[in-house]
Amino acid sequence: MADTQRSTLGPLPFTPKAKTISFALMFIGAVGFAISLMTNAERAWHAYLVAYFYFFLLGIGGLFFAAIQHVSKAGWSVNVRRFCESFTAFLPVAALGAIGVALAGHHLYEWMDKAEVAKDPLLAHKAGYLNTPFFIIRLVVFFGGWLLFTKKMVGGSIMQDKNGDPAITVKTLPWAIGFLLFFAISFSLFSVDLLMSLMPHWFSTIFGIYTFAGLFQSTMATMILLILYCMRRGLLNGYVDENHMHDLGKFMFAFTVFWAYIAYSQYMLIWYANLPEETMFYLPRVTGPWTWVSVALLLFKFVVPFLALLSRRAKRNLNFLATIAILILIMQYVDLYWLVYPNLSSEKVIFGLPEITTWCGFAGVFMFTVGRFLSKYSIVPLKDPRIHESLHHHVVY
Amino acid sequence: MDIIDKVISKLRPKARQGMAGIWLDEHKFVEAAGKVRQSGYTKFDAISPFPLHGIDDAMGIPFSYIPWVTLTFGLTGFSFGTWFTWWASSQDWAINIGGKPMWSLPAFIPIMFECTILLAALSSVGALLWICNLPMIDPPVIDPDLTSHKFGLFVPEDDTGYDAAKLEQLFRQLGAVEVKKAEF
């Protein structure tokens, strides 16, 4: 890497234009959500859930990626770590957003409706876990834990920017290990609570891993796009180059394969056993108009990105990498939409302004929180003791 | 015994004569490899106890063709798995399992996947062995320390413009601590 033309590092300025865009998106989202809430509350909350979960995954995904870098004591990723840490700025908002999910109540979850539970022996049997107070307790515990780990890990990383104390790197390690253990349980249960319990009769033990695969894939795609934006503006000259992007591209590729592997594992076992209480999830999705959404998922969330990212050259061609990242981010929305919407309407694929505006609203909030975070702190953790490995990162294969 | 001797003689590399230089510093060594390449030598080899960043570029080694072998054999394995499951379960020995169609893709994707991985992985390792002339018995040793802390360049006699005296001078100029006639 050429040491001569290194950019002077600092925060990423949050331009008035970007601020305006994020506020405009929030405004569109708020208005769109309010209107759809008045016209069709059930649909509005489903749109809310998909958009909320989409950006929640990016927030917690950023923390997860930072944690695995700490646990594996990775050197190469130091120069890009601040970007995934910036996603965690969305987590406090996500905690507030969870209140919305709880407020949606029986519009989303039939097990929150006492009359439904009384009629249905299966729901009554599951009420020990699926009941509103315990649901809220779980949300509080999960978000409490995630915010604590964010404070310890991301806060430590920012503190190191100021005082340059290498001991912080050592102290962060146990927190990162603790987070991964906590994350495995909490994220899995969170997915079960928010998405799987939309269909409370159905169960799949692999469900948390399925959402996790999408989490990793979409977090990598967002990181790649954000870093490319900074690179184009010349903010990362001499710090991040195609070697780092190649490795992020490898991660995105790997978790594209992982997603297909998990999605298929879930499908194949249910298909083989052919038990009614399990196939009830796939029946509406492989019959009628939803079939096309399922086929589109298979093609554009796995086959196309897989073939496109297979070669080394594709992962080092930054424009190409960005195109695939955008495709993956679109398909990530389709994936969550596909998990949620057949419960609302199994006969018809409904998509329109309520879904788009609500997504825009959350996108605005995400953009604002991440933008504000990056405008406050240096975009590269300059005083990390492993930064030299990242400055001289060179991917031979 | 006869067969074993034959195999061993096949696996024993035919040593080439040439000049070898030994370096102690890896950075000087990578630089030297680049200079030797610039002097017009193309068949020379570099021996190092660990992988060196930038040595491929310095020596002008083109990108490996192993990925193409992997892709070709991966696709072959995929096609074979697809064909074989179709032939075995719907043509040659059709058995009705759980009322499912004879050739049910979901049931056979694992087999297609495993065939893809099996052929892709084995062919990659095979291609690597082929490229590196492995396995090899009793290879000539320039200096036993090349596996611990020394770095060696070897230029064979049949390389273009081979001249032992000039090479010795070049190696010394580039910082070699030792230059000798060797076989490799």
Phi, psi (degrees; rounded to nearest 5) at A364? -60, -45
Q: Identify the CA nearest to A56 among candidates A194, A176, A175, A177.
A: A194
| B107-145 residue pLDDT tens | 999 999 999 999 999 999 999 999 988 888 888 889 999
- Chain B: residue whose CA lies nearest to A273: B98
- CB-CB: which of A264, A396, A397 is closest to B109? A264
Residue stretches of chain A with pLDDT short of 70:
1-4
Whether the CB of A20 is below 8 Å from some CB of chain B: the reply is no
Per the DSSP assignment, residues forming a β-bridge with B183 are B17
- The overall longest dimension of chain A from CA atoms, in Å, is 73
| B72-102 residue pLDDT tens | 999 999 999 999 999 999 999 998 888 888 9
Whether the CB of A310 is below 8 Å from some CB of chain B: the reply is yes
Å between A341 CA and nearest CA of chain B: 25
pLDDT tier, B153 (very low <50, low <70, confident <90, very high otherwise): very high
Whether the CB of A272 is below 8 Å from some CB of chain B: the reply is yes
Cβ distance B67 to A394 less than 8 Å, yes or no, reads no
- Chain A: residue whose CA lies nearest to B98: A272
Whether the CB of A388 is below 8 Å from some CB of chain B: the reply is no
- CB-CB: which of B54, B64, B98 is closest to A274? B98
Q: Show residues of chain B in contact with A76, CB under 8 Å.
A: none
For A81-108, what is the HEC assignment? HHHHHHHHHHHHHHHHHHHHHHHHHHHC
Whether the CB of A271 is below 8 Å from some CB of chain B: the reply is yes
- Chain A: residue whose CA lies nearest to B101: A272
The pTM of the full predicted model, rounded to 2 decimals, is 0.91
Å between B46 CA and nearest CA of chain A: 17
Q: Compute the distance between CA of residue A192 and CA of residue A208 in angstroms, rounded to an integer.
A: 7
Q: Show residues of chain B in contact with A308, CB under 8 Å.
A: none
Whether the CB of B101 is below 8 Å from some CB of chain A: the reply is no
Q: Show residues of chain A in contact with B110, CB under 8 Å.
A: 268
Give pLDDT, residue B29: 93
A51 neighbors A358 (Cβ within 8 angstroms): yes
Chain A / chain B CB contacts < 8 angstroms: 20
Cβ distance A394 to B53 less than 8 Å, yes or no, reads yes
Q: Show residues of chain A in contact with B26, CB under 8 Å.
A: none
Whether the CB of B67 is below 8 Å from some CB of chain A: the reply is yes
DSSP label at A236?
Answer: S
Domain ranges of chain B: 15-45+156-184, 66-131
B15-45+156-184 is classed CATH 3.30.70? yes
Q: Compute the distance between CA of residue A209 and CA of residue A279 in angstroms, rounded to an integer.
A: 19
Phi-psi region for residue A109, left (φ > 0), alpha (ψ -120 to 50) or beta? beta
Per the DSSP assignment, residues forming a β-bridge with B19 are B155, B181
Q: What ipTM, to 2 d.p.?
A: 0.84
Q: Show residues of chain A in contact with B105, CB under 8 Å.
A: none
Q: Which amino acid is at A51?
A: A
Which of A253, A312, A396 to mutate to test binding with chain B, by most B CBs within 10 Å of its CB? A396
Q: Which two tokens stand for residue A191?
A: 């997915």
